[in-house]
Amino acid sequence: MSKGDLTYWRGSSFYVNPTSRCMNDCLFCVRHFGEGVFGFDLVLDEDPSPEDLVKAIDNTWDSKFDEVAIVGFGEPLLNLDAVLSATIRVKELANVPARMNTNGQALLLHPTREVARELAEAGLDRIQISLNAPDPDTYLQLCQPKLGRGAFESILEFTELCKPLMRVELSAVDIPGVDIDACRGIAERLGVNFRVRVFKGPEGALDGIFRTLTT
C-alpha cells in the first residue's frame, strides 16, 4: 500500500490521487513548494494498484460529495488503469460529475491505447488539459517535458480526440511572460473551453520563472 493519501477532499469536492509522479517538471508546479494540499500528504512512495485506489475511495467516500476530481500530486495518466478503475467506482457510488486534470501527453505515454475513449467509457465527464504555453518553445522552457519537444503538439492532438467524447477545457497558469491571450486563441481554434489558473506558489518565485522565460 502506498504511503501518503490516495484520496483527499475539501468541502463537497472529493479528490483522487493516483500518482505523485510526473513526466514534466513545470517551473510553477505546486510540488516545488510543498508535499500536499488542504492538509493532506500527497507524496506517494509508489503508485497504488487499481484495487488499492478503489479501496481508498470506498473507505473515505461520503454522501456529502457532489463532484469528483482525479487530480492528485502528479500526472494521473501515468497510472491509467487505476484512474479507469477509480472513475468507474465513483460513478457506481453516486451520480456525480467526474473530471480529471492532466498534462495531456496521453498519446506519448500510451501510443497503443485509445485513452480518450477509455476515459469516456469509464464515465469521465470533463477533462482539463494543461496547455500552459502558446508554442513548443515556451512549453519546453516552462514545463520541461521529459518526453521532449513533441509533447506540445501531442497535447493538441489529444485535445481533438477528447472533444467529441467529453467536455474539454484547456488551461494555463497566469504567469508573467506567458501569452495568455495566445493560449486562449488555441482553445478557441480547437473549439474547447479555456480557463486561466492562479499561480499557487510563493510570490517571489514568479521573478525566477519570468527570468527563465525571457532569457
pLDDT of res. 1: 47
Q: What are the chain's domains?
A: 7-214 (3.20.20.70)
Confidence of residue 106 (pLDDT cuts 50, 70, 90): very high
Q: pTM, whole model, 2 decimals?
A: 0.92
Q: List, as one string, the DSSP characters of 61-130.
A: --TT--EEEE-TTS-GGGGHHHHHHHHHHHHHH----EEEEE-S-HHHH-TTS-HHHHHHHHT--EEEEE
pLDDT of res. 47: 97
Least confident among 54-58, 146-150, 187-191: 146-150
Query: For the segment 60-97, what is each residue's pLDDT rounded down to a tens digit?
Result: 999 999 999 999 899 999 999 999 999 999 999 999 99
Query: For the segment 120-131, what is each residue's pLDDT rounded down to a tens digit?
Result: 999 999 999 999
CA–CA dist 144, 151 (Å, integer) = 10
